[in-house]
Amino acid sequence: MSTPWHILGAGSLGTLWATRLARCGVPVRLILRDAARLASYNAGAGLTLVEHGIAQTYPVTGETPDIPEPIHRLLVACKAYDAQSAIAQLQYRLVPGAELILLQNGLGSQDAVAAQLPQARCIFASSTEGAFRDGEWRVVFAGHGYTWLGDAAHPAPPQWLEDLRAAGIPHEWSADIVTRLWRKLALNCAINPLTVLYQCRNGGLQDHHCEVATLCAELTELLERCGQPAAAEDLHSEVQRVIHATAANYSSMYQDVANARRTEISYLLGYACQAAARHQLVLPHLQQLHARLVDYLSARGLASH
């Protein structure tokens, strides 16, 4: 039997990966928070994936973090702010040389996890797939996309990419994963916070094009100073293209705030501002945007870190 995929976090992306791997016969174990979540999960028939309007349920095996079984391969599918503490509870189960695939958006959490686990191989991922939960243990596959995976320290691709191919998970092994993550972070910083502050869809930012252009200029400066010139190339044009192409959509940060959920601000705009400070770079509009967003979240009782 091939090496099981342990999946930490049965949320949107965790379920999207678990169900597709399970349906092609790859062994999958779903790690839930605690005994209460496991009991709730075991009361049902498994994980349900809704794709093209059709729901299919897969009886993926669930477990708690504290069982003694070793873990060779772990897909971390928590939010960026939960990744370190979620991994800490099962750290002792990781075999030396275990592989972790980190699906978190933004930057900062991946390096923190890698520092926490010097014996493990940490593979960073960046995904344009989209999914959301429409019930307990049930996820809707909302946006088909692509996942790039890479390991800046060890550029050889792992054998298990074959499992992803078999599962129909569109992916590519990327030599420049950190550049991809920076580019995505910059796009996010130029769009998502403004959609929260102006309470608009992405297309609503067409009315604020000067502000978007100023932010893109500062983000370009930041990326160049951080040694990421490729991530900075034509940033403003791509931001405009994304605003136009996704005009009818609400950004993920907008949706988090609308649903009173914690945002990943510290790993996005917060990370960008910290990187600027580290390089003694003064980016007044980016810093002001961060301050406005922090105030906005705090006024609504949402975490601003």
Smallest distance, ligand NAP to C-beta of residue 206, A = 24
Burial of residue 87 (CB within 10 Å: 0-12, 13-18, 19+) is buried
Cβ neighbors of 181 (< 8 A, separation 6 or more) are 106, 107, 110, 124, 126
- Binding part of the chain for ligand NAP, among 25-33, 188-196, 235-243, 282-290 by CB under 6 A, reads 25-33
Q: Tokens standing for 290?
A: 């961060």
Binding mask 108-147 for ligand NAP (x = CB under 6 A): -------------------x-xxx-x--------------
Cα-Cα-Cα-Cα torsion 223, 228, 233, 239, nearest 10 degrees, comes to: -50
Q: Identify the active-site residue in 73, 180, 184, 236.
A: 184
Give the C-alpha separation, 69 to 65, whole Å. 10
- Segment lying near ligand NAP (by CB under 6 A), choices 22-30, 101-109, 173-181, 277-285: 101-109
Candidate list 5, 6, 7, 9; residue touching ligand NAP; CB under 6 A: 9
The 3-state DSSP class for residue 237 equals helix
Piece of the chain touching ligand NAP by CB under 6 A; list 18-26, 28-36, 67-75, 280-288: 28-36
Name the minimum Å distance from CB 292 to ligand NAP.
21
In contact, 202 and 247? CB cutoff 8 Å? yes
Residues 190-229 touching ligand NAP, rule: CB under 6 A, are none
Residue 86 lies near ligand NAP (rule: CB under 6 A): yes
Nearer to ligand NAP, 228 or 263 (CB): 263
- Least separation in angstroms between residue 49's CB and ligand NAP is 13
Identify the CA nearest to 66 among candidates 31, 15, 42, 97. 31
Rounded Cα distance between 167 and 25, Å, is 9
Residue 79 binds to ligand NAP (criterion: CB under 6 A): yes
Is 262 in contact with 303 (CB distance < 8 Å)?
A: yes
Nearest distance in Å: CB 150, ligand NAP: 16
Task: Determine whether 79 is an active site residue.
Answer: no
Question: Contact letters (x/-) for ligand NAP, 152-191, by CB under 6 A?
Answer: ----------------------------------------
Nearest alpha-carbon partner for 101 in 118, 83, 88: 83
- In whole angstroms, the minimum distance from the beta carbon of 284 to ligand NAP comes to 27
Q: Which string of DSSP letters, residue by residue, matches 117-173?
A: -TTSEEEEEEE--EEEEEETTEEEEEE---EEEE-SS--SPPTTHHHHHHHT--EEE
Residues that bind ligand NAP (CB under 6 A): 8-14, 31-33, 37, 77-80, 82, 86, 103-105, 127, 129-131, 133, 264
Residues recognised as catalytic: 184
